[in-house]
């Protein structure tokens, strides 16, 4: 009698398992219509795995990355109070390599040397026309097609790709303090 009971339990468990498997299987399509195609927007790769820098460039990149997620503050000059784009650049350059920069993106552009986009290296600066005037926004290039910046009110310091359609359309040039 114990053997029959055990067999009954096994059959019951197997039946339940089959029913559960049937409930979780994909239903067969009965109509010839194709399901709508889901459009997915691909995000640029913002991984920092391929970032390479040495010397002063490395110091600038390390300071910049240390500011990730610091809050934006218009006119902000330090991480405790928050940073805007030029305040972030001035803070990074001063602390990383001892270079004093003004707290204005256009003035920083005027005091640095223009370079081609192809010559960009980690620690250089990238500028954008985001307010219908040249050099109205800036960031620090960290390599691998990426830059770090303090974008706007209610946001934080973050990494973006130069291929981002918004920034690619507004790219105003690259500049450096290096020889």
Predicted local distance difference test score (pLDDT) of residue 47 = 74
Domain of residue 172: give its range.
55-176
Question: Residues 92, 63: contact at Cβ < 8 Å?
Answer: yes
Q: Provide the pLDDT for residue 99.
A: 97
pLDDT for 96 equals 97
Number of H helices, E strands in the chain: 5, 8
Helix, strand or coil, per DSSP, at residue 5:
helix
| pTM metric for this prediction | 0.74
Tell which residue, 116, 111, 174, has the closest CA to residue 142.
174
Question: What's the number of domains the chain is made of?
Answer: 1
In a domain, 7, yes or no: no
Long-range contacts of 111-114 (CB under 8 A, 24+ apart): 112/175, 112/176, 112/177, 113/175, 113/176, 113/177, 114/173, 114/174, 114/175
The verdict on residue 150 lying in a domain is yes
pLDDT of residue 51: 76
CATH number for 71:
3.90.1720.10
Residue 17, in any domain of the structure: no
- Coil, helix or strand for 58? helix
**166-175 as b/e, with b when 16 or more CB fall inside 10 Å?**
ebeebebbbb
pLDDT given at position 1? 52
CA-to-CA distance for 99 and 52, rounded, in angstroms? 21
* Contact criterion met (CB below 8 Å) for 105 and 86: yes
Would you say residue 169 lies in a domain?
yes
Domain assignment present for 102: yes
Let me know if 156 is exposed, middle or buried by CB neighbors in 10 A (0-12, 13-18, 19+).
Answer: middle
Instruction: Give pLDDT tens digits along the chain (179 positions).
Output: 555 454 444 444 444 444 334 333 344 444 455 555 454 455 566 677 777 888 999 999 999 999 999 999 999 999 999 999 999 999 999 999 999 999 999 999 999 999 999 999 999 999 999 999 999 999 999 999 999 999 999 999 999 999 999 999 999 999 999 98
For 153, half-sphere exposure in the C-beta direction (CA atoms, 13 angstrom radius) is: 2
pLDDT at 12: 45
């Amino acid at each position: 009698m114990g053997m029959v009971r055990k067999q009954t339990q096994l059959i019951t468990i197997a039946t339940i398992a089959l029913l559960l498997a049937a409930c979780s299987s994909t239903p067969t399509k009965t109509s010839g219509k194709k399901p709508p195609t889901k459009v997915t927007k691909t995000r640029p790769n913002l991984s920092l795995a391929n970032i390479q820098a040495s010397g002063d460039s490395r110091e600038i990149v390390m300071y910049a990355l240390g500011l990730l997620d610091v809050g934006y503050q218009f006119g902000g000059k330090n991480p405790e109070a928050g940073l805007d784009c030029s305040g972030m650049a001035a803070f990074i350059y001063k602390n990383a390599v001892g270079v004093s920069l003004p707290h204005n993106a256009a003035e920083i552009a005027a005091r640095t040397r223009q370079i081609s986009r192809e010559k960009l290296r980690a620690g250089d600066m990238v500028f954008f026309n985001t307010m219908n005037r040249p050099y109205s926004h800036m960031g620090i290039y960290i390599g691998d097609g990426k830059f770090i910046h303090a974008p706007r009110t209610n946001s934080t310091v973050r990494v973006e790709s130069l291929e981002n359609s918004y920034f690619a359309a507004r790219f105003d040039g690259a500049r450096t303090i290096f020889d």
